[in-house]
Structure 1
Amino acid sequence: MRIGLLGTGPWAEGAHAPALSRHGDVDFAGVWGRRPEAAKELADRFGTRTYDDVDALLADVDAVAIALPPDIQAALAVRAARAGRHLLLDKPLASTVGQGRVVVDAVRASGVASVVFFTTRFQSVAEAWIAEQAAEKGWFTARAEWLGSVFTTDSPFGASPWRREKGALWDVGPHALSVLLPVLGDVRRVAAAAHGPGDTAHLVLEHADGASSTLTLSLTAPPAAAGAAVELRGEAGARLLPRSPDGAVPALERALDALMTAARTGVPHPCDAAFGLRVTEILASAEALLDG
Structure 2
Amino acid sequence: MRIGLLGTGPWARSTHAPALNAHPDVDFTGVWGRRPEAAAALAEACAVRAYDDPDALIKDCDAVAIALPPAVQAPFAVRAAEAGRHLLLDKPLAVTVEDARRVADAAADNAVASVVFFTMRFGAATRPWIAEQAAAGGWFTARADWVASVFTSGTSPYAASPWRREKGALWDVGPHALSVLLPILGDAVDVHAVHGPGDTVHLALRHADGASSTSTLSLTAPPAAAGVGVELRGDSGVTTLPPRAGGDTQTAAFGRAVDALITAARTGEPHTCDVRFGQRVVEILAAAERDAT
Residues 156-187 of structure 1: CA deviation (Å, up to 9, x unaligned): 00000000000000000000000000000000
Residues 210-249 of structure 1: CA deviation (Å, up to 9, x unaligned): 0000000000111111110000000110000000222210
Query: If the length of structure 1 is used for normalisation, what is the TM-score?
Result: 0.98
2:160 maps to which residue?
Answer: 159
Classify the secondary structure of the residue corresponding to 2:50: coil
Name which of 263, 266, 281 aligns with 1:264: 266
Correspondence 1:35-114 to 2 at 5 A: 35-114=35-114
- What is the alpha-carbon distance in structure 1 between the residues aligned to residue 274 and residue 137 of structure 2? 25
* Residue identity matched to 2:177: A
- String of CA shifts for 1:229-279, please: whole Å, max 9, x gaps: 000000110000000222210000000000000000000000000000000
Listed one character per residue, the Cα deviations across residues 124-150 of structure 1 (whole Å, up to 9, x for unaligned) are 211110111001121100000001111
Unpaired segments ≥5 residues, structure 1:
none
Deviation by residue 1:180-218 (Cα, 9 ceiling, x = unmatched): 00000000010x311111100001100000000000000
| 8 A Cα contact 2:200 2:220, kept in partner | yes
Matched residue, 1:182: 183
RMSD: 0.6
Q: What is aligned with 1:21?
A: 21
The answer to whether structure 1 residue 228 and structure 2 residue 224 are counterparts is: no
In the aligned structure 2, how far is the partner of 1:30 from the partner of 1:224? Answer: 40
Aligned match of 2:291 in 285, 289, 292? 289
Aligned: 1:8 with 2:8 = yes
Q: Distance in 2 between matches of 1:167 and 1:137?
A: 32
Read off the aligned partner of 1:17 and give its amino acid letter: A
User: Match of 1:142, as an amino acid?
Assistant: A
In structure 1, C-alpha distance between the alignment counterparts of 2:157 and 2:224, rounded to whole Å: 18
1:139 aligns with 2:139: yes
Q: State the TM-score, normalized to the length of structure 2.
A: 0.98
Identity rate of aligned residues, in percent?
A: 69
Q: Deviations over 1:42-88 (max 9, x none)?
A: 00011101000011101111000000000100000000000000000
Per-residue CA deviation, residues 79-103 of structure 1 (Å, 9 max, x unaligned), is 0000000000000000100000000
**Mapping for residues 196-275 of structure 1, pairs under 5 Å:** 196-245=196-245, 246-275=248-277
Output the CA distance in 1 between the equivalents of 2:105 and 2:132: 32
Q: What residue ranges of structure 2 are gaps of 5+ in the alignment?
A: none
Q: Secondary structure of the residue that 1:199 maps to in structure 2?
A: coil
SS of the equivalent of 1:233 reads: strand
Does the aligned pair in 1 maintain the 2:29–2:61 contact within 8 Å? yes
Counterpart amino acid of residue 256 in structure 2: R
CA distance in 2, matches of 1:195, 1:35: 35
SS at match of 1:5: strand
Instruction: Name the SS for the 1:94 alignment partner.
Output: coil
What is the distance in 1 between the residues matched to 2:137 and 2:58? Answer: 45
Paired positions, count = 290
